[in-house]
Structures are given as structure tokens and as C-alpha cells.
Chains A and B, each alone.
Chain A
Amino acid sequence: MISELSELMEMIFPWNTNKNSREEAKRRLQLILAHDRANVNPMMINRMREEILAVVARYVEINKDEMEIALENSDRMTALIANLPIVKFKRVAGAEENSQPLPADINLDLT
């Protein structure tokens, strides 16, 4: 009786059930289908994530708590979506010196 009553309450007030399993199913499938389609395993994705981060970290400082790197699907196309909030740009030491120096023996003769 009590269970029937709670079921009825649940039907009338769907927000009473905190977890929305429909959304959960969809979210889980979005992730797993992207992986299935790309034919990669989560370990490889993790490694790729770390490598991308290492490269980006050389130039900018990113907020690691809010960044996202994930495979996403739309319309049977898979894309790697990276959202990396930048905290600040790094002043790469000696950036100017790194630019290619002009060759000394350049020929500026007009004739």
C-alpha cells in the first residue's frame, strides 16, 4: 500500500525522484557511442588528454578544474571537443629572441 502510494506520488511529482534515469541513460550512451564509433579505449583518450594538456600548458595556464576534453557525437560524426578555460597567458621567456634572426649577409643591392 505504502509503496503504491509513493509510486503515485512519484508520478504526480516527478521531481521528487532526484535522479532522472532517462537523462543518465542518454548521457552514458553519448559517451560510450562516441568511444565505440572512434574505436578507441578510454585509456588512449586519457593519454591523449594528458599530452594535449602538456602542450597547451607550455603556453598558457589553464583552469584544470573546469576544463573538459571529450569525444562528442552529432549526426554520426565524432568530434574531439576541448574546452580549456585560460587563467593567464604565459610570457614565454625569450620569446622575441626565439624569432628567426635575419641573415647577416642579406643582399640589398638595387642594381
Chain B
Amino acid sequence: MSRIIVVTSGKGGVGKTTVTSNLGAALAQVGCTVALIDADFGLRNLDLLLGLEERVVYTALDVLAGECRLAQALVKDKRLKGLVLLPAAQNRNKESVQPEQMKKITSALTKGYDYILIDSPAGIEMGFRNAIAAATESVIVTTPEVAAVRDADRVIGLLEAEGIHNIRLIINRVRPEMVQTNKMMSVEDVLELLAVPLVGVVPDDEKVIVATNKGEPLVIAEDYSLPALSFTNIARRLQGEKVPFLDLMAEQNNILTRIRRIFGG
């Protein structure tokens, strides 16, 4: 049985596409076959983050129009065996596809892939409706900011109303030093507010931007990074493994914390 997971957030710019590309790569690394669907018609970016933009020939829309076969539209990642991308059309808008059509494409992909990850566009309109139409599980991406958390809550409500109850949360761009000084909500704060199970915490790290510059998911980069480890751990948790969460706050247990403790802070 393949799993169909939609990656969504409500708010834009919280890291949906980064999460989708890295989870896809991390799952492929552990031997799964993974099809990534870019459901952001008109504003596609997943190809760019994966470094596959030069190799896009056909899109999901061409498949639906019967202009090519599904297999022809899939862009294979040469670095990772088992990882393919179904690109979104860039010259159309989000209304050009119907939920039924998304279901058709997704169900065709389930025949060849263990995981179908759908990168949802921001918002809760047609593009979002299309993205969630075929999904049976969801990964919500949020950041510890008020607007992102509020939008995440709204999206969780909408998913539940659509009968998608397998919902898990990724808290992205956590800055432990800000949490420590009470300038940012902690992972626990966000979990208490949203009340959905956590599947991963990703620290804010400039390496994420460097990786997108190169079009190379962090998890396949040669130098080790904390966010890469987070993504690998999330992939393992999706696979059902029990992996302890990274203690980002532990790194903050430095000289500053100790001085503070001396002063009773």
C-alpha cells in the first residue's frame, strides 16, 4: 500500500517546498520509491529546490490533456534512485485543475511508488483543495510565529472536515537562542496550541538557503547539518520508527545559560 501525504501549511513561506524536497530525498535514501507532486500550479518551485528545473519537459497538465503519458512527465532524480518529480504547469493558474483529476493522477502513481508526497500551494482555495483531494495523510508545516500557527490551525480544521485525520506537525525554523530568551514560542508552546502530534522539529539554519541555492536537498549534501538530520529523522518517523526528537535546547546549554543560572535566572 502506498501512502499519499499532502504537505501543507496555510501560510506561505514557512517551508512547505523545502520540507517536501528533503522528505522525498530522505525517504529515497532509505530505499523507498517516492513520487513528488508539485500541486502549486502557476507558481511551481519544487523543481527548482530539487535542481531538476532544466529537465522538466512535460507537466501534470500535459498528462491530463493527454499530450503525454504519465511516465514521460515524471522527472527522475539522477542522484537518488527511486525519486521522481511530477512538475506543475507554470503557465496556468490554480483553477486549471480539478480535484477529480488530481485523484486520477495520484491513484495512477500509487501503482509504482511507496510514497506520494504532494506539495500544496499556500492558501485554502482551489489549489489547496486540489492538493488535498487525493491525500490520506497530511504533514502540516508551521513556524513558531503567530500568523503561521493561526493558519496551521485553520488548515488542520479544514483537513479534519475533509476526513483526513492522520495529521502530523513539523515545526520549522526554530531558533533555540530566541526561545531561551523568551522571544520565540517553544516547540511545546506550539504543540499545546495546535494539539496535533509532532513528527519533527527543524532548526533555523542558513544551510537551508545554501542548499536551495544549489538545488540540492540538504539530506544529500556532503557536509553534515542539523536540519538534514532533522529531515532524515522525520523520514524515519514516517516509516514508523521511534526516533527521539533532537534536543535543540541542549545546544543552548552554554556559558550564557550557566552565567544566568549563577544569577538565579
Contacts and interface: CB of A to CB of B under 8 A. Distances in A.
- A-B complex is real: yes
Interface of A: 10-15, 17, 20-23, 25-26, 28-30, 32-33, 36-37, 73-76
B202 interface: no
A15 B260 CA distance: 10
A11 B150 contact: no
A22 B193 contact: no
A13 B183 contact: no
Contacts of A12: 256, 259-260, 263, 265
A25 B260 contact: no
Contact of B153 (A10, A11, A15, A37): A37
A14 B256 CA distance: 11
Interface stretch (B22-30, B33-41, B121-129, B184-192): B184-192
Nearest to B184: A22
B157 interface: yes
A20 B153 CA distance: 23
Give the contact-size bracket for chain B: 20 to 34
A15 B265 contact: yes
A21 B182 contact: yes
Contacts of A30: 193
Nearest to A16: B265
A29 B193 contact: yes
Contact of A76 (B145, B186, B195): B195
Interface in B138-182: 144-146, 149-150, 153-154, 156-157, 177, 179-182
A29 B181 contact: no
Contacts of A15: 265
A30 B194 CA distance: 9
A29 B146 contact: yes
Given A26-B193, A29-B146, A36-B154, A13 B263 contact: yes
B265 A75 contact: no
B262 to A, nearest CB: 10
Interface string B247-265: 0000000001001100101
B260 A26 contact: no
Given A29-B146, A29-B149, A37-B153, A13 B260 contact: yes
B182 A14 contact: yes
Given A14-B265, A22-B179, A36 B153 contact: yes
Contacts of A13: 260, 263, 265
Contacts of B177: 11
A25 B260 CA distance: 24
Contacts of B180: 14
Contact of B150 (A22, A33, A74): A33
Contacts of B256: 11-12
Contacts of B193: 26, 29-30, 33, 73
B171 to A, nearest CB: 14
B189 A33 contact: no
Contacts of B185: 22, 25-26
11 contacts: A14-B180, A14-B181, A14-B265, A21-B182, A22-B179, A23-B182, A25-B189, A29-B150, A36-B154, A75-B195, A76-B195
Contacts of A32: 150
Contacts of A14: 180-182, 260, 265
B247 to A, nearest CB: 19
Given A11-B256, A14-B182, A26-B185, 6 more contacts: A12-B256, A12-B260, A15-B265, A17-B181, A29-B193, A30-B193
